[in-house]
Structure formats: C-alpha cells, structure tokens
Amino acid sequence: MRAPTDLGAPTTPGSPTPSSGGRKQRSGRGGWRSSGVMLLVMGFLILVPAGFVLLAAFSETVPRPGSISLDLTVGNFAVLGEPGVTRATLNSLLIATLSTVLALAIGGFLAFTTARTNIPFKGLVYLFGLMPLFLPSYVGALAWSILGSPAAGLLNIGLRDLGLTGFVDIYSIPGVVMVMAVFYAPYAFLLIHSSMSLMNPDLEDASAVHGGSQWRTLRTVTFPLAMPAIVGSALLIFTHVLENFPVAQVLASPGQIDTLPTFIYRLMNASPSRGNEASSVAILLVVFILVITWTQRVLLSRRAYTTVSGKGVKARKVDLGHLRWPLFVVATGYFLIAIALPILALFLTAMRTSPYMSSFRDLTAPGALDASSFGTVARSDVFLTAAGNSVVVALLSAAGGTVLAFLVAYIVYRTRARARGLLEGVSMVPLAIPAIVLGIGLLWTWLVMPIPLYGTLWVMVIAFLAVQMPQGLRGIAASIQSTDKDLEDSAVLHGAHRARAITAITVPLMKVGLTSTFLILLMLSMRELTVPLFLYTNDTRILSIAIFDQFENGGALQQAAAMSLIYCLIMFVLSCLPRLLGSRGGLNNH
Amino acid sequence: MNVTIEGLSLSYGGVSAVQDLDLAIGDGESIVLLGQSGCGKTSTMRCVAGLETPSAGRIAIGDRAVFDGDSGKSVPSHKRNVGMVFQSYAVWPHKTVIENVAFPLRMKGQNRTLSRAKAFNVLELVGLAHLAHRGASQLSGGQMQRVALARSIAMEPSVLLLDEPLSNLDARLRDDLRVELRRIQLERGLTSLYVTHDQQEALALADRIAIMQSGRIQQLGTPQEIYRAPATASIATFLGVTNVFPVERGGDLGLRLEGHSVALRSSHPVPDGPISVAVRPEAVTVHDAERADELTSRANRLAGKVRVAVYQGSSVRYQVSIDGGPDLDVVSLDPVVLAPDTPVVVEVPEAAVSVLPDDTPAPATDAAAPAAGDTGAAA
C-alpha cells in the first residue's frame, strides 16, 4: 500500500522528498495508522466498559481495583429464573409494546394532520408535536407523579373538589405507558412527518388518475410509502422505552412494578450489591435490544426509499371537512397532557408554601403561593454547583464528541483506511447497550483504571463521549456525506496540504453540520440521567442528578420542582441556539 | 510539460480499473480519453492527479517522476502542480469567485495583493472579471465551470486535467464553452488531459484521442484518424456509427450479413478473425425506386422500403427496411421527404463499407471479467 495523498499526518509539509523510496508498506489513506489510533480510542471508551459487564456476568466477583476475577461461572444466570426477573421482563415488554403503539398513534396522527391536511393552526399543531422534546422524560415523569399519584395527586385533588372520587393512578402500567408514549411520540412525529411531506405527489396523483378515491389513495399509496418511517420509528421507540430507566423508576417503582432497568438498578443498589447478577440481567436486556436492532436492519434494508424526490414538492392536501375542529381539539389534548399540565403542576409545586394540600381552595388563602422559591433555589449551593458542573461537563463532552465524531467520520467516509467498517461498527455499539448497562460498565472501568479519574468531572465527560458517540457520528456522517469530496481534493490539487484542505475547505463547509451536532450533544449531555447515576459523587453532581435526587429522597419537592423549571428553561434556550446560529450563517453567504 | 504514463495499473479490492496502460502526452498537447462510463478513463486521470494510488506503473510529469510503483515513490497531490477541473466543478461555495481563483496562488506562498491581481487577470481571460466579488454559490453552472477553469489556469499547472467538465451544462452552452476551452488551451499552450464520453467533445478538443475500453487504450490517434478509421467494430458503434453488422466471409457476392440474405462489397481489405461491416448513415444515399436510373456505378445497391422518416431540418433521417436484410439508418441531405412504405433503392459506396475486427483481442495475460464495451460482438 503506497499512498500519495495522506491524511495529512504522515508527510511533513516542508520535506523535499515526501516519500523516501523503497518502503512498500506506507500508512495513510489505505493503511492502519489513522484507523488504528481511532480504533484504540473507541475500544477504550466503549468496548472496555461493555467487556467489563460481560465479564462480571460470567464471574464470581465484580471488577475491583487490583482484582479482576477470571474464575468464570454461569451461576449468575440463575437469577434469570427468579420470578422477579420474569415479571420485570414481561412488564418491560408489555410497557414497551403498548407505549410504542400509543406513541405511533399520537405521532402518526400529528404528522399526518400537519403534513397532509388543512387542520386549523397547522404551525401550532406542528409545535405541539415537537415540544415534548424540550422536556426531559424524567422531568415529565416527576411532574406526572405530582399530578397523578393516587393519594396527593393534583388531578385527584381536583376531582375530589368536584365531588368525584379520585381515580387517577399514575403509579400503574397504564400510567407508565401513557407518560412514555407522550414523551416518545415526537420521534414518530418527526420521522413520519418528513416522510409524508417529502413524498412525491406524482405517486398519489397517479393513483387518483387511475381511479383511486382519496381514502383509497391514502390507504394503498400514501401509508405504504410512509411504512419505512413508521416501522423505523416504531422500533426506535420500542428500544428507547425498553431501556428507559428514569420514567420507570419514578412511576413504576412506587407501584411495586419492576421493569428490567429498574430491576438491574435495584440489584446494583442492594446491600450487599449484587453486581454480577445485575450484569446477567443486563445481558438479557442487551439481547432484547440486539434482536430489535437486527430486525430493524432486516426490515428496512428491503425497502427502497424512492419516495424522496428532493425537489421542492408540494404534497397533496386532504380536506378534513367538518372534522377540522374536532381533530384540532384532539391535538390540543395531547399538548395539555404532554406539556401544559406537567409545567403547571411544576409551577404550582414550586410556588406552594405549604407542602400539604387537600383541596384547590387552599390556594386562595393569603400567602399560599409565593415565587420566592425560584430565587432561593437559583442561589442555593446545590443548584449552583450542579449547574456549573452540568455546563462544564456538557460543553467538554459536546466539543470532544464533535471532534471524535468528525475524526471517525472522516476516516470512515473519506479514506481507504483499513478496518474503517469496524471503526464505524464499534462507534455505533452504544446504540445496542442500554444506558443503565453502559453506566455500570463505565463505573467498573473507571474504578479499576489506574488513572485516578473516578470522582472527578472528567469521568462524566468520558462517559458521555462513549454514550453519545452514535448520535454524534450520525450527525457528522450525514454532513460529511453531503459535502462533495471533490471540493477538498480540489484544494489539494491546487497546492494545499491535506490538513490545510480539511481546515480551509471541509470544516467551513460542514459548519452547519458540526454546529448542530455540537448542540445535539450538548442537549443530550444536559439531560442524561441514567449513566451519571452510577458515576456521580457528592462533588460531581450535575443538574439531572440533583433534581432526581431531591425527588427520590422525597423531602425537597418544592426545590426540585423549581429546579426542574429552571432546567427546562436552560434546555429551551439551548435548543433555540441552532436556529439563531443558522440564520446568522445564512446572512454570511451574501 | 510532457507527461509519461508507463504500465499503469489500478485495482480496487480485486476489481481492475486500469490495466497496464501506457500513454505519452507531449508538451502543450491536448489528449482526450474517450470511453464509456466504467472504462477506467477517470481512474487514469485521478492517478495522474494523485487522488488514487496505482497498484503498479510509473507516472512522470516533465522529468520528475510523481509516482513509481517499483520504488514506492509517490508525490502527494498538492506538490504535483496539477490543475484539475472537476465534473462537479468543486468551486468552494463559501468563498467568493476571486478567493476561489486566488487560492492556488496563496498556497504557493504569494502575497494577497499579487495573487489577487493575477487571479483577476485569469478571470478576465474567462470573461468573469465582473463577477470577481460574487459569492461562488450564486453562480450559474456555466459560470462555475469558468471559475473552476480559471482556478486551475491561475496555478500555471504542469498539466491540466479536465473530468467531463461540460457534462452538466445544457447543449448550447456546451457548444460555446467547447470552443472557448480549445481557444484557451491553444493560447496558453496548456498540456491537458481531458476525460469525456462525448465523441463530439473529443473530436473538437483533442490533438489526439485515446479510446479506452475496459481499462485499456484501444486506439490512439488524431481525431481525423479515429473518425475515418475506427479500429474495431465496438469502437465504431461507440463513435455513433449506427449501421454495424456482423458478417460471414466467403462467397462471390462479397460479405454476407450474418442472418440475412444480403451481401455488401467493400473496397477495403478484410482482416482476420470475426469481422463486422460498418457504414456511416450519412454515406448512404436513398432513392425513390421509380427513379432508380440516377444510380452511380461503384456502389452496392439494395432494394427496400422506408419504415420511418424523421425530418431534421437540414437533413432527413430514415430507417430503411432492406429486402431480405436488416434495417439500415440513412441520413439524407435531399430536402424531399419520402413517405413511409415508399419502395426505395439505397446506394452504399464500396469505399464507405469499412470492414472491422469485432474487437481487439485481449492479451493472453488478461484474466479480467468480459469487457463492458463489447457492443460490437456478433449477435
């Protein structure tokens, strides 16, 4: 392998003879050098923690500093025979299935009405579909536990005020399913919406011309064409719900309902800790996720995505007739459940001076409501430390993640380096490992490592780099693939060194993709709860942990509610940044 | 500067794209690599640019070897001083026109003022000086093509590579730019290597044309030579000769078309191996059968019937069904349009009947898959 055009590193710009003769094995575009280094980095970040979980599942003791047990056993898998595991498995599958169906119904309904009908206030309905993304699912779960707990839930208090018996119990499987579905519906909404609005209208016109009625066209052409998006989002939501820990912990555990993630968490937190058995249950969860991911590949690879025409098409619109307003009311109902009620509940809880309330009439008493808790919380040490930690961790991991993802994407899509398929595969591994499992693996890894990072913010950064690698790589990969490679090659031919060509041409052209990937990673780091749950210490709490902690430990409901709202505000501002930056970037082009 | 390519081979994961290719380009010469997609022409060019690493061979620009498979020497692209106009133009959308054109000069270490002044001169040459400060993303296709050309000319390249630079433009613009490209190439004495699948473009721009099929150069010659005497039947087909028919040798009547009872006489020598005859449609004349007395002597005469007549303004294109023979394409300059089903007599001068081997036999060492361009092979 000889390479004239290196990745930039192997030949120095000033050397008169860039390649000395005689060496047959030269690294570079076709070699190992770049891919080898990145494989080591990714293996260290991702495969080592995964490997520790696997090892723990098959050994007597969990990995500890200085002692990694190699006495292999399958005894830990006996735990899988316990009735608790069977119940947790069935609960997990039941919740995931029902939530997926409900989320698809909600997301599909909103997508269809906004993309293809004349529903009133279409822009507003579109926003309804997106908004739950700004609310981390556990904040939603906490808010719904305030709303729907059987004894003191605000909804039940309200019902009793109206003279009815309170009958809402959010600590139940239907409750968990509803909250999961409401918060994962945006995934279905986004995927199905883009599929429906990009569909080539000629395909539907052809049906109409050949005698298909509107309803028949929808049924035989439109929905089948949207099938890849529907199936894709269904599997995506199913895996997310299956591995979701926070919602299940907040809403299912109080009702004595276990899911696989909460079961793993309880085994880990049992005393003495049952880490090896937790690992074997974790393996079971990974197997489920792998099967689903594999199914997704098989199903979707058979489909041709020929519906996207790329031109500025105008999709056909369906006239809803007298159903326009009723359907708008349905969409508004979703907004109430997903956003309005939870936010109101948090506000009310944050502002109530007394933690006890038996009727909404109590609120009319003088001094019953007071906004001072926001100020108190915003000045409190707990909040300031956690907020500071969150910002530092999120910025570092988003920046680091973007750089790593760019390097991997460049090697995978722009070079002929060896093992680049393997590199991409390793980078995508975290998709198949639930956050709770990866969290355990990262904990053991950094307890065992001779590098003293455990207990510092760095270990959080490293954990986030590992967990969010797939999302980062997807964002960058899409951007690098849509940037013509000729543009960079052209700079090299016109005299620029490869490294210079990358920085002067490729990176500026990918500015939008890089920025949005950075912001996505920033958001993900800000809201991640499960992985840091195993890694935090008293000094390294981040916001998500601080909120979760205060709720779980019961006492500080008011502070937690206030903190949640401030936190949501921060998230909202962050999510608006891409649009602001994007529009400024647009102005620069003129 | 002259360019020498010797024994060039390139394969991607076992698939061979270029096989043992030799080509010498003289200083100031314009060579066009002509072939169908997948024939290896773009791969060859990218090897010269240094964007692909050949598996064997030697490439020299001037006296300097830029790639040598034996010693492992390979000069990186940015030090080869090779200009390239990409099919996609690769004009950087985030830079202005003048920044695009000045880029190679800045890379050579020239200062900002000087490189801008030079870039401006080149923009004048391609007629884009008035757009110098436009953002490159606001240009039309033809303008982008000129910017890409200006950018490569500005670097004063040792050799200029052009990868189907006109293929994304509409027909009118393509004709104009073709003439302009040739003018600039001649004026500047640019050594250039041009890749295309369009024979009109090749004929217009080349000093010499190299016809490529399945990773090899099958014929190398001036445009006139190539046009007049394609080396094989498959090259003739590729060059737009629509009447190519496999023939059987022997018999007194001449060359009998395979599967038909019609024969053609040719004034050309007959080569060995499987052969075909090739007749350009414009060399055939068509006459109404009732006025057949006007016929000249030294020609094949065949009776038939008009199947389709397409009026094209300056000419009429016919498809004539020959009695006992195949359909023959004819381009007639006679302004009278014969109606379908008119009985006709076509005249094919013996000199217009080329007799060609079906294909250049592949060398014995070749173990590669069958060539993609085997269109002339007998049916």
Label residue B372 by pLDDT band (50, 70, 90).
very low
Which positions of chain A have pLDDT values less than 50? Answer: 1-28, 303-312, 584-590
For residue A134, what pLDDT is reported?
Answer: 81
Query: Per residue in B171-188, pLDDT tens?
Result: 888 888 888 889 989 988
Q: By the CB < 8 Å criterion, does A495 face chain B?
A: yes
Closest CB from A5, A494, A508 relative to B107: A494
Which chain B residues are within 8 Å of A508, Cβ to Cβ? 94
pLDDT of residue B376: 36
Residue A555: the pLDDT is: 64
Looking at the structure, do residues B247 and B210 belong to the same domain, yes or no? no
Q: Which residues of B touch A1 (CB under 8 A)?
A: 53
SS3 per-residue string spanning chain B: CCEEEEEEEEEECCEEEEEEEEEEECCCCEEEEECCCCCCHHHHHHHHHCCCCCCEEEEEECCEEEEECCCCEECCHHHCCEEEEECCECCCCCCEHHHHHHHHHHHCCCCHHHHHHHHHHHHHHCCCHHHCCCEHHHCCHHHHHHHHHHHHHHCCCCEEEEECCCCCCCHHHHHHHHHHHHHHHHHHCCCEEEEECCHHHHHHHCCEEEEEECCEEEEEECHHHHHHCCCCHHHHHHCCCCEEEEEECCCCCCEEECCCCCEECCCCCCCCCCEEEEECHHHCEEEEHHHHHHCCCCEEEEEEEEEEEEECCCCEEEEEEECCCCEEEEEECCCCCCCCCCEEEEEEEHHHCEEEECCCCCCCCCCCCCCCCHHHCCC
Asked whether residue B181 falls in the same domain as residue B222, the answer is: yes
Question: Which of B212, B228, B244 is a domain's end point?
Answer: B228
* Interface touch B155/A509, C-beta < 8 Å: no
The answer to whether B92 contacts A30, with C-beta atoms less than 8 Å apart, is no
Question: How wide is the angle at C-alpha A164 spanned by C-alphas A158 and A167, nearest 5°?
Answer: 80
Asked if residue B62 and residue B183 are part of one domain, the reply reads yes
| B195 part of a folded domain | yes
**Residues B153 and B247 grouped into a single domain:** no
What integer pLDDT is reported at residue B123 of this predicted model? Answer: 92
Say what the pLDDT of residue B294 is: 58
Quote the pLDDT of residue B250.
65
Burial label, A364 (beta-carbon count in 10 A; 0-12, 13-18, 19+)? exposed
Inter-chain contact A5–B77, Cβ cutoff 8 Å?
yes
Q: In the predicted model, what is the mean pLDDT of residues B30-48?
A: 91
**Chain A closest-CA separation from residue B77 CA (Å):** 5
Å from A21 to nearest chain B CA?
A: 5
Least Cα separation, residue B206 to chain A (angstroms): 23
- In this prediction, residue B18 has a pLDDT band, given cuts at 50, 70 and 90, of very high
A14 touching B (Cβ < 8 Å): no
Q: What is the mean pLDDT of residues B329-350?
A: 89
The reply to whether B363 falls in a domain is no
Give the pLDDT score at B364. 38
Asked whether residue B302 is domain-assigned, the answer is yes
Give the number of domains in chain B: 2
What CATH number is given to the structural domain containing B179? 3.40.50.300
Residues sharing a CB contact under 8 Å with residue B18, sequence separation 6 or more, in sequence order: B8, B9, B10, B40, B43, B44, B47, B54, B215
Residue of A nearest to B91 (CA): A487
Domain stop point among B183, B203, B228:
B228
CATH code of the domain covering residue B327: 2.40.50.100
Residues B293 and B193 in one domain: no
**Domain-located, residue B250:** yes
Asked if A24 is an interface residue toward chain B (Cβ–Cβ < 8 A), one would say yes
* Distance (Å) from the alpha carbon of A427 to chain B's nearest alpha carbon: 24
**Residue of B3 and A152 predicted with greater confidence:** B3
pLDDT for res B363: 43
From residue B3, alpha-carbon distances to B19, B27, B156 in Å are 18, 8, 15
Chain A nearest C-alpha distance from B321 (Å)? 38
Does the pLDDT value for residue B155 go beyond 60? yes
Contact A590 B74 (CB under 8 A): no
Say if B53 falls within a structural domain.
yes
Tell me what pLDDT residue A174 has: 93
Considering only the beta carbons, identify the residue of A1, A496, A509 that sits closest to B94. Answer: A509
Among candidates B53, B66, B86 on the partner chain, residue whose Cβ is nearest the Cβ of A486: B86
Average of pLDDT values for B212-220? 91
Q: Which of B66, B67, B84 has its CB closest to that of A493?
A: B84
- How far A515 CA sits from the closest chain B CA (Å)? 16
Residue at B295 is within a domain:
yes
| Cα–Cα dist A490/B84, whole Å | 7
pLDDT at residue B321, rounded to an integer: 93
The pLDDT value recorded for residue A586 is 40
Among the candidates B173, B205, B228, a domain finishes at B228
Q: Are residues B172 and B76 in the same domain?
A: yes
- If you count residue pairs, one on A and one on B, with CB atoms under 8 Å apart, how many are there? 116
Name every chain A residue with its beta carbon within 8 A of the beta carbon of B80: 493
Range B347-353 average pLDDT? 88
Residue A213 main-chain phi, psi, to 5 deg: -75, 170
Cβ contact A494–B72 (<8 Å): no
CB atoms A4 and B53 under 8 Å: yes
Do B193 and B217 belong to one domain?
yes
Are both B220 and B259 inside the same structural domain? Answer: no
CB contact under 8 A, B155 and A11: no
Confirm whether B168 is domain-assigned. yes
pLDDT at residue number A188: 92
Q: Read off the pLDDT of residues B248-297 as tens digits, 9 standing for 90 and up.
A: 876 666 788 888 888 888 888 888 788 889 999 988 988 887 776 655 56
Assess whether B78 and B219 both reside in one domain: yes
Tokens for B36, please give them: 């169908």
The reply to whether residue A484 touches residue B93, judged by beta carbons under 8 angstroms, is no
Q: Using a CB-CB distance cutoff of 8 angstroms, which residues of chain B are in contact with residue A3?
A: 53, 74
User: Minimal Cα–Cα distance from B93 to chain A, Å?
Assistant: 8
Q: Which of A494, A495, A589 sits opposite B137 (nearest CB)?
A: A589
> Residue A460 has what pLDDT?
92
CATH architecture for residues A33-200+223-308+371-588: Orthogonal Bundle (1.10)
User: Do B88 and B137 lie in a common domain?
Assistant: yes
* Residue listed under structure tokens 């995964």: A50
Find the closest chain A residue to B77 by CA distance.
Answer: A493
Chain B positions in Cβ-Cβ contact with residue A14 (cut-off 8 Å): none
Pick from B53, B77, B137: CB nearest A493 = B77
Give first-to-last CA distance, chain A, whole Å. Answer: 44
Nearest to A494 among B71, B89, B103 (CB): B103
What is the pLDDT, as a whole number, of residue B222? 94
B77·A491 Cβ contact <8 A:
no
Evaluate whether residue B157 is within a structural domain.
yes
Full domain range(s) for residue B331: 236-357
Nearest C-alpha neighbor of A434 from the set A242, A248, A263: A242
Provide mean pLDDT across the span B98-108. 89
* CA B262 to chain centroid: 33
Q: Give yes or no: residues B167 and B36 share one domain.
A: yes
Residue in B closest to A588 by C-alpha = B94
| DSSP 3-state of A453 | coil
Per-chain mean pLDDT for chain B: 85
Read off the pLDDT band of B370 (50, 70, 90). Answer: very low
Query: How many angstroms separate the CA of residue A584 from the nearest CA in chain B?
Result: 14
B88, A509: Cβ pair inside 8 Å? Answer: no
Contact yes or no for A490 and B93 at CB 8 A: no
B163 lies in the same domain as B271: no
Q: What average pLDDT score do residues B82-100 get? A: 87
